[in-house]
């Protein structure tokens, strides 16, 4: 008599996700721009770390950076049929852009807002995010690790959603 052990894969091993990572204004200057606040890690380094983390979690990321609000909105709109979720660092648009907030709401995609610095420990005008109410959550203050934490939170949300729908 043969006993066959049930074949099982962990959820993480067989579900793959596509995540769009959007970097807003002035993030192309990371490594040079105010390193006391934003650190010395470059955007290229952050993207490489995100790529490694994503690969280890069966996820594909596409990372894009722009200094233009309209481009962020266009990328959010076009993400609907291509991506499972978005990690977004809107930079200074965090505090000013109702248009980006509305674009997030219009897509219905899960979005995690992230920031390198702790926006709540900085100047008072930085304490308010117009974006956060349309997002799953906000992660800030952990330097480049904020992006990894945001991606991890997004993947956790996607897995839980998919497990509940199966």
Distance CA 83, CA 130 (A): 23
Element (H, E) at 87: strand 85-89
Give me the active site residues, please: 38, 115
In this structure, what is the dihedral angle of CA atoms 123, 128, 129, 130, given to the nearest 10 degrees?
-130
Q: Which of these, 161, 147, 75, 65, lies nearest to 110 by C-alpha position?
A: 161
Contact assessment for residue 74 and residue 99, using Cβ atoms and an 8 Å cutoff: no
């Amino acid at each position: 008599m043969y006993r066959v052990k049930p074949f099982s894969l962990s959820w993480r091993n067989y579900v793959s996700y596509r995540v769009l990572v959007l970097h807003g204004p002035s993030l192309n200057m990371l490594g040079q721009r105010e390193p006391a606040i934003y650190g010395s890690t470059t955007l290229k380094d952050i993207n490489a770390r995100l790529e490694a983390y994503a690969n280890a979690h069966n996820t594909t990321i596409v990372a894009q950076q722009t200094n233009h609000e309209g481009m962020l909105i266009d990328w959010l709109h076009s993400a609907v049929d291509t991506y499972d979720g978005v990690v977004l660092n809107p930079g200074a648009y965090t505090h000013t852009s109702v248009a980006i907030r509305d674009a997030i709401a219009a897509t219905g995609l899960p979005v995690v807002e992230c920031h390198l610095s702790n926006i709540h420990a900085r100047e008072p005008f930085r304490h308010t995010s117009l974006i956060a109410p349309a997002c799953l959550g906000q992660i800030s203050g952990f330097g480049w690790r904020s992006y990894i934490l945001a991606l991890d939170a997004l993947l956790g949300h996607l897995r839980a959603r998919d497990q509940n729908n199966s």
